[in-house]
Chain A
Amino acid sequence: MEMPKPNPEILSKKAGIVSRLQGALHDGAVIHEEAETRAYECDALSAYRCPPLCAVLPSSTEEVSAVLKICHEEGVPVVPRGSGTSLAGGALPTADAVILGVARLNAVLETDYPNRFIRVQTGRTNLSVTGAVETDGFFYAPDPSSQLACAIAGNIAMNSGGAHCLKYGVTTNNLLGVTMVLMDGTVVEVGGAHMDAGGLDLLGVICGSEGQLGVVTEATLRILPKPEGARPVLIGYDSNEVAGECVSDIIKAGVLPVAIEFMDRPCIEATEAFAKAGYPMCEALLIIEVEGSPAEIDEQLALIKEIARRHNPVELREAQDADEAARIWLGRKSAFGAMGQINDYMCLDGTIPVSELPYVLRRIGEMSKEYGLGVGNVFHAGDGNMHPLILYNANKPGDLELCEAFGADILKLCVEVGGCLTGEHGVGIEKRDLMTVQFSPDDLEAQMQVKDVFDPEWLLNPAKVFPLASSEARRAATGEAA
């Protein structure tokens, strides 16, 4: 993966930059010794690493502003970082970049149940947002699988989703307002506790901009009352096509489950060997969860089971108690871990129209043979967000490159059938050079001109999202200026 060459002028004035940053922050908030900057050399896309110039851990919006002002004056690129769980390389630095970590910004600022929102600093983890309100019967809906570790800042940057977004939407649908610091240090407030922010929907374009428009330090998030209960049902089929039809029929019947998860045979076999959840050995397995009171759940599940039976399932199991519900979810939740036990893997997250599911799964199977690399599929079937896991051997020379080529072919296929490159992980560096598959030069230009407004010098996370060739002129202009 190509990254821009570091600017030698910045490298040569490292001592001066570090000293200015130290002057603006508390003791210990600037990490610049080589041994220590290694902790910030990569995120969860660990195949790519590069220690930054230095890392800073500010403790307030004012400190973030001070850091950005200094970096702006010095012409130093800044890479914002939440918890570093990005699977797309969103927080990968270059040698001339300052990592701005929000980990120390983790306070709950305000909890308001009558108006149903919580205001937090964005270094707070996703799960701990729910943790702050759940004893009072509320929760924060977006639930990416990294929710124990991932920070709200990263969720906003990537517009993170989760298993339950068929009903509750993704981050952008649950974000009411932000405090954001622009690259020149200006602090802006967008939106707030009111539902429609007014003016142009800046909040909408900030969310999912991968840390390229500003550093979000505080967020007002919508919280929802917890449902009375939830119950999953597990359905097995002997073909992917039939499972796909079953999903489509359930949706057409007017049921809106909170989650519809799908696993194919390679994935079922791997998780069964690893987690022993008691899954049936079949071609396709669905886990469908509905919410409500016991009577409401019965009503919805009765309809789902009736539809499922029409398609002759090889297995149909409804959770009778909390234990069985947990067992049904156990395999799904350990799927990634299970695949990791067998092999190194690369996880993609292209989305497709659900009607294309059988075709896409068949093509992935064919390509798997052509490339000689195994692949398991586990994904959010209700919304078409796939997660093909391509297995490879990191120690075998050339295997990573082969795996990436296979991955690129799968993502091109997703776009070809009317879908997109990434449903919830973000573009980062991983899918950057595939953007031209999905977008025309004009489409990309329209997006880049948004960054021109927020960050005219292209200093914030500059080598992400857009193909390097597309953004080169803009980045070069800054390099020269600096």
Chain B
Amino acid sequence: MIRPESEEELAGIVADATGPLSIQGGGTRGFAENARGERLTTAGITGITLYEPGALTLVARAGTPVDEIRERLAKDNQRLPFEPMDHRALLGTEGEPTIGGVLAANISGPRRVMVGAARDYALGLRFVDGRGTVIRNGGRVMKNVTGYDLVKLLSGSYGTLGILTEVSLKVLPKVAASATIVLNGLSDEQAVAAMAAALGSPFEVSGASHDPATGETHLRLEGFEESVRYRSERLAELLRPFAPPQIEASPEAVTKLWAAIRDVTTFAGKDGDVWRLSVKPSDAPVLVARAGAKQAHYDWGGGLVWLRTDAGADLRASLGPFAGNATLIRASAETRARLGIFQPEPAPLAGLSAGLRAQFDPRGILNPGMMG
């Protein structure tokens, strides 16, 4: 494992590389398994380099552990708004998730439905491209349209366009209170309809999830104490036609529940492959029925669906054409190689993506095989 300690050292390694590199942060998400090449980690390039609570801005080197950032933010009563998922339970991996890994894979949690994804909070970044050139884009300010937004392009590029060395993030205040509204016994269709009603209300729902196994639908509210109480009551009234609502307001219970939803722990330790679907929420129940999976879980009001299928089954073939995409998150190396991690793109888009990879990494040494 190559483990540079600085951006400069990393740039030298890439410039001098004679073969492909398989790039990872903390290695907890298992993505590096999909690329050919010598393993390289950014986990040695660490440190929070700037934090200004009054400007809601934090800058950290790519290898900085997510937990270190969370703890630092918590001291000033702030947090990462996009609530990145921790993959360790689901994938059975060990190690320390890094902020670079979170951005490289654009990892977001349940709050994404209200506040946006990891990429929406990335203000700037530095990266080393496939030639070993250090490139900077964006900055540390919230509004910036100076030049092309390579920050977005690199977020979710899984190291195929460049290796992130530093990220600049917008952070938000922590909330004083939160509550979960629970509905019982809804079918998938009813649950998605209930979640749509909640998300379409003015009550600022920051999480909407449904577990078909238990028949429980969960809606989360966050904010100042009085406000959460008020909105809980109003939202409960709104949802009463679907099922009798219960309000859970114990802080420990709310935190625990949404951490479990975020990390899809109901799938942890169970056999089969795990897929992640990004779809139009109202399409979700039909697709879930068509998938014939062993287990399903809805997040983002139905916009994100987790599926646990028979090992080796080709979910994309079962679903047929649909608007959205299916990503293979957990499977054997053979299945991953056979089915591909990412949904194949239509020809013109695939051409643009391949063109971009060729520009940023002309030698094709950054995570080859990962995205195409």
A425: interface (CB < 8 Å):
yes
Chain A residues within 8 Å of chain B by Cβ, number = 94
Task: Say whether B150 contacts A447, CB under 8 Å.
Answer: yes
Contact of A256 among B134, B146, B172, B226 (CB under 8 A): B172
Smallest CB separation, B114 vs chain A (Å): 9
Q: How far is the CA of A248 from the CA of B325 in the complex (A)?
A: 41
Task: Say whether B144 contacts A188, CB under 8 Å.
Answer: no
Smallest CB separation, B295 vs chain A (Å): 21
Task: Say whether B142 contacts A384, CB under 8 Å.
Answer: yes
Task: Say whether A383 contacts B143, CB under 8 Å.
Answer: yes
Q: How far is the CA of A114 from the CA of B301 in the complex (A)?
A: 10
**What 0/1 pattern do residues 32 to 61 of B give for CB contact below 8 A with A?**
000000000000000000001111110000
Q: How far is the CA of A442 from the CA of B155 in the complex (A)?
A: 19
Smallest CB separation, A474 vs chain B (Å): 13
Contact of A254 among B77, B139, B278 (CB under 8 A): B77
Task: Say whether A199 contacts B155, CB under 8 Å.
Answer: no
Task: Say whether A254 contacts B174, CB under 8 Å.
Answer: yes
| A245 (CB) vs chain B CBs: closest residue | B54
A427: interface (CB < 8 Å):
yes
A423-B371 in contact given A172-B149, A353-B55, A442-B135 (Cβ < 8 Å): no
Task: Say whether A296 contacts B149, CB under 8 Å.
Answer: no
B116: interface (CB < 8 Å):
yes
Task: Say whether A446 contacts B135, CB under 8 Å.
Answer: yes
Chain A residues near B346: list those with CB within 8 A: 188-189
A24: interface (CB < 8 Å):
no
Smallest CB separation, B282 vs chain A (Å): 5
> In chain B, residues 113-143, which have Cβ atoms closer than 8 Å to a Cβ of chain A?
113, 116-117, 119-120, 129, 133-137, 139-143
Task: Say whether B116 contacts A205, CB under 8 Å.
Answer: no
Q: How far is the CA of A209 from the CA of B137 in the complex (A)?
A: 14
Task: Say whether A159 contacts B145, CB under 8 Å.
Answer: yes
Q: How far is the CA of A207 from the CA of B304 in the complex (A)?
A: 24
Q: How far is the CA of A443 from the CA of B148 in the complex (A)?
A: 10
What's the count of A-B pairs with C-beta under 8 Å?
269
A423-B224 in contact given A188-B352, A208-B149 (Cβ < 8 Å): no
Task: Say whether A227 contacts B202, CB under 8 Å.
Answer: yes
Smallest CB separation, A190 vs chain B (Å): 7
B14: interface (CB < 8 Å):
no
Chain A residues near B280: list those with CB within 8 A: 115, 192-194
Chain B residues near A44: list those with CB within 8 A: none
**What 0/1 pattern do residues 409 to 444 of A give for CB contact below 8 A with B?**
000000000111111111100010001001110111
Q: How far is the CA of A427 from the CA of B116 in the complex (A)?
A: 26
Task: Say whether B227 contacts A299, CB under 8 Å.
Answer: yes
Q: How far is the CA of A251 from the CA of B55 in the complex (A)?
A: 8
A106: interface (CB < 8 Å):
no
Smallest CB separation, B284 vs chain A (Å): 10
Q: How far is the CA of A290 from the CA of B342 in the complex (A)?
A: 41
Smallest CB separation, B1 vs chain A (Å): 27
A115-B282 in contact given A195-B300, A208-B148, A446-B360 (Cβ < 8 Å): yes
> In chain B, residues 288-327, which have Cβ atoms closer than 8 Å to a Cβ of chain A?
300, 303-304, 323-325, 327
Chain B residues near A227: list those with CB within 8 A: 202
Q: How far is the CA of A458 from the CA of B119 in the complex (A)?
A: 28
Contact of A195 among B172, B230, B278 (CB under 8 A): B278
B281: interface (CB < 8 Å):
yes
Chain B residues near A248: list those with CB within 8 A: 54-55
Task: Say whether B152 contacts A205, CB under 8 Å.
Answer: yes
Chain B residues near A473: list those with CB within 8 A: none
Q: How far is the CA of A292 from the CA of B360 in the complex (A)?
A: 46
**What 0/1 pattern do residues 54 to 94 of B give for CB contact below 8 A with A?**
11110000000000000000001100000000000000000
Task: Say whether A165 contacts B148, CB under 8 Å.
Answer: no
Q: Which 3 A-B pairs have CB atoms at the shortest separation, nearest pair first?
A: A204-B152, A248-B54, A198-B325
Q: Apart from A113-B196, A199-B342, A443-B147, what are 14 other A-B pairs with CB-CB below 8 Å?
A: A116-B200, A195-B278, A199-B350, A199-B353, A204-B149, A204-B153, A249-B54, A384-B55, A420-B146, A427-B146, A435-B147, A442-B135, A453-B359, A465-B148
